[in-house]
Structure 1
Amino acid sequence: MPSDLAAAHYAKKTVTLLEEAGVPFVARDENPPCVPQLRPIEEFWGIVKQEVYKGGWRAASEVQLKNRIQRVLRSIREEVPRTMMERVPERVRRAERRGVNSSLH
C-alpha cells in the first residue's frame, strides 16, 4: 500500500508484488505529496494506537510495547486496510474538487 512518495514504495518489485496480490494502491503520479489526511496509513496507525493504549494501558518496556502492537495488528480484520485503500481515489477526487480539508474525517 504505497502511502507516500518514498522511492521504495514505488519500486518495480514492490508494485509488481502489490499488483500480483491484488492490493489496491495509488499510482505515484496520482499520489499528492504533503497531504497526510489523504493517506490511509495515517488513519490505520491511528486505529492501531487507539487499540494499543486502550483503557490507559502503558508499556513497561520496549519489548512489551512491540508485543502489544503485534497483537493489535493481528487482531485487525484484513478488510479494514483494504477498505481504507479502496476509499483513497474518492478522497483524492473530493480533495481536488473541494480542497484538501474536505478529505478530513
Structure 2
Amino acid sequence: MVNDFQLIIDDEKYFTLSNESVSTNRGFYSSDKGKTPPQVKFKRNQKYQRKVLVRIAISTNGISSPFFPEQQQAINEVTYLNQCIIRRTSNSITRYLDQNNVQFVTRDFNSQNCPQARPIETLWSILNNMVYDEGWEVENIHQLKQRIMEKIEEFDVKVVQSIFSGIRKQLRKIDDHGPYSACSS
C-alpha cells in the first residue's frame, strides 16, 4: 500500500429515539419497588422503534456532514447484499470513480465483518455515547437528527486522526496475512 493517497471510510448506522443499548436507558433498579413510580416500572417499549439512518465518511481531515437517507424499513442482511452494496458498486459509480482516478476497494475485497479494518466502528461507538449521554431521549426524528449533527460538530479532529493512525499498518497486515493477523499486535 502506497502512502500517496488519502483513505476515506464511509458507513451507516441506525439511531433510535431512545437508545436501549445505553445502560441509563435500559431499565431501573430499586431497593423498594413500592416507592418506584408506575411510569418508571411500567414504561412501555415500542416493538419496532422509530429510528434514523445516518451515513458519514471519515478521513484524517475529519468527519463529513451526515446524510440522512429516507427509508421505509430497516435494512437486513439480504437487502444489504442484494440491493445496497450493488448500488454502491454499480457501473455508473465505478465508472465515475475510475474517470476521476479515485482508488477504491472492490466489492470482492471489501470485508464487512472485519472491525480491524474499519476504524469508523470506533467512531460510531463514541458518537453513540455522545448522542445518548446521561440517558438523553428525544420525542421525534427531527430532534434526533439535530442532536446527531450537534455531536458530530463537537467531535475533535484529533480524535478522528488518532482513530486513523494505525489503519495503514492494519490494512497491510490484513492484505499480507489475512484478517486474523490484525487481531494480534
Normalising by structure 2, what TM-score?
0.39
State the 1:100 CA deviation. 5.7
Larger % of helix: which?
1
Larger Rg: 2
How much has 1:68 moved relative to structure 2?
A: 0.5
Q: Percent identity?
A: 23
Note closer, same or farther for the CA distance 1:89–1:35 as it changes in structure 2 (3 Å cut). farther
Q: Which has the higher strand share?
A: 2
Equivalent residue pairs, number: 92
Q: Which residue of 2 aligns with 1:22?
A: none
User: How far apart are 1:93 and its partner, in Å?
Assistant: 4.1
Separation in 1, partners of 2:125, 2:101: 24
Aligned counterpart in structure 1 of residue 141 of structure 2, from 58, 62, 67: 62
- Output the TM-score relative to the length of structure 1: 0.63
Q: Which amino acid aligns with 1:33?
A: S
> Against the structure 1 CA distance between its residues 86 and 27, is the aligned structure 2 distance closer, same or farther, given a 3 Å change threshold?
farther
Matched, 1:42 2:121: yes
Which letter does structure 1 place at the counterpart of 2:113?
V
- Contact 1:40-1:85 within 8 A present in 2 as well: yes
| 1:85 to partner: Cα distance | 2.4
Once the two structures are overlaid, the 10-residue window that deviates more, 38-47 or 82-91, is 82-91
User: For the aligned residues, what is the CA RMSD?
Assistant: 3.3
Unaligned runs of 5+ in 2: 1-7, 12-84
Pairing partner for 1:11 from 70, 91, 97: 97
Shift of 1:90: 2.2
Q: Is the 8 A contact 1:48 1:73 kept in 2?
A: yes
Which segments of 5 or more consecutive residues in structure 1 lack a partner in the other structure?
16-25
